[in-house]
């Protein structure tokens, strides 16, 4: 080959390799979701990925984030994550350690009993290679999960249970960091109410520190009128907890789950309208809000009545609410 041709070929190859390399570092694959944008992204748990389109049709807006749940020791849901990404949405995966280990859930995880599974799951999430939210062991200040403080508090123990949870959280985060799984945005998400409402169970007692958290979150519901509950506005559900968390940290904040019950003598449509108005006006730190759309403990879906569906659709027409997640 002529020496001049060799030189030109080398230049072409160098430019080609440089171009290929730059394609892997795009806003779509950079991993970290900083939350540094104006407005609030729209998300939902739609009770099965097959329901995405019907939900969006009812809502009149695309979903920036699609939420679902994975129990230990299930594998990372690569195919489902790919389906969500192909739809143009970001996955929010709640990762639930449903364990019956004799050591106890927190003790067993902290001891490394599930290290192989944790590493395999997080490596698969990294290998998938696109931005995602991973919400590990949510609602730890409640009394209904095997990983919460109530079920891991020893007799006569004070706030040590919060420190035990922090230890587990830091362990998970450190595994993520050691694998350099930067596309995995780890979300620390308590319940909006401390249950039980005891000093040792304050949500802040479970916070592991900014170094170990990518996003924070809150879950809360208007359970409606019943023998054990009363009708609550959006502010009654979230205002106090929002103040607590925004004073605790500057990390970006999401509402991982929220919804309103359908009450015979109550106006769910008015509740929805007021909720989104409040989000825009009074909760500027909330950068993502995910509706819990399933008829489970209550009739939560947005289309539980025509007026509620219409109110949800009208609320989302405001450009403040984003149908695409801004990525870094």
pLDDT at 168 over 60: yes
Q: 244-288: per-residue pLDDT in tens?
A: 999 999 999 999 999 999 876 579 999 999 999 999 999 999 999
Question: What is the mean pLDDT of the segment spanning 174-180?
Answer: 98
Which candidate, 132, 130, 136, places its Cα nearest to that of 114? 136
Question: What is the mean pLDDT of the segment spanning 40-49?
Answer: 98
Q: 93-135: per-residue pLDDT in tens?
A: 999 999 999 888 999 999 999 999 999 999 999 999 999 999 9
Four-CA torsion 117, 207, 260, 308, nearest 10 degrees: -80
What CATH homologous superfamily does 39-322 map to?
A: Glycosidases (3.20.20.80)
21 confidence band (pLDDT: 50, 70, 90): very low
CA–CA dist 250, 203 (Å, integer): 16
Q: 193-227: per-residue pLDDT in tens?
A: 999 999 999 999 999 999 999 999 999 999 987 75
Q: Does an H or E element contain 257, and which?
A: strand 253-260
SS3 277: helix
pLDDT at position 71: 98
Which candidate, 145, 255, 148, 235, places its Cα nearest to that of 198? 148
């Amino acid at each position: 080959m002529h020496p001049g041709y060799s030189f030109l070929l080398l230049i072409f190859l160098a430019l080609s390799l440089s171009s290929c390399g730059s394609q892997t570092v795009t806003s779509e694959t950079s991993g970290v979701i900083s939350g540094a944008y104006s407005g609030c992204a729209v998300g939902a748990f739609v009770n099965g990925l097959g329901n995405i389109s019907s939900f969006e049709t009812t809502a009149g807006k695309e979903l920036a984030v699609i939420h679902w749940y994975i129990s230990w020791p299930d594998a990372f849901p690569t195919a489902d994550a790919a389906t969500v990404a192909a739809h143009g949405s970001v996955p929010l995966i709640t990762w639930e350690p449903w364990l019956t280990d004799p050591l106890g859930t927190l003790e067993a995880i902290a001891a490394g009993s599930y290290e192989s599974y944790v590493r395999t799951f997080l490596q698969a999430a990294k290998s998938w290679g696109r931005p995602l939210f991973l919400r590990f062991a949510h609602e730890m200040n409640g009394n209904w999960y095997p990983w919460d403080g109530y079920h891991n508090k020893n007799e006569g123990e004070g706030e040590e249970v919060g420190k035990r949870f922090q230890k587990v959280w830091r362990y998970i985060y450190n595994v993520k960091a050691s694998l350099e799984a930067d596309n995995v945005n780890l979300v620390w998400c308590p319940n909006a109410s401390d249950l039980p409402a005891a000093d040792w169970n304050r949500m802040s007692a479970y916070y592991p520190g900014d170094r170990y958290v990518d996003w924070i979150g809150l879950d809360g519901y208007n359970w409606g009128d019943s023998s054990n509950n009363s009708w609550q506005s959006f502010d009654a559900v979230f205002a106090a907890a929002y103040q607590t968390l925004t004073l605790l940290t500057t990390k970006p904040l999401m509402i991982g789950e929220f919804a309103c019950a359908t009450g015979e003598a109550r106006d769910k449509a008015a509740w929805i309208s007021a909720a989104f108005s409040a989000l825009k006006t009074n909760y500027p730190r909330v950068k993502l809000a995910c509706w819990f759309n399933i008829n489970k403990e209550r009739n939560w879906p947005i289309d539980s009545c025509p007026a509620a569906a219409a109110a949800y659709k009208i609320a989302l027409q405001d450009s403040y609410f984003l149908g695409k997640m801004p990525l870094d």
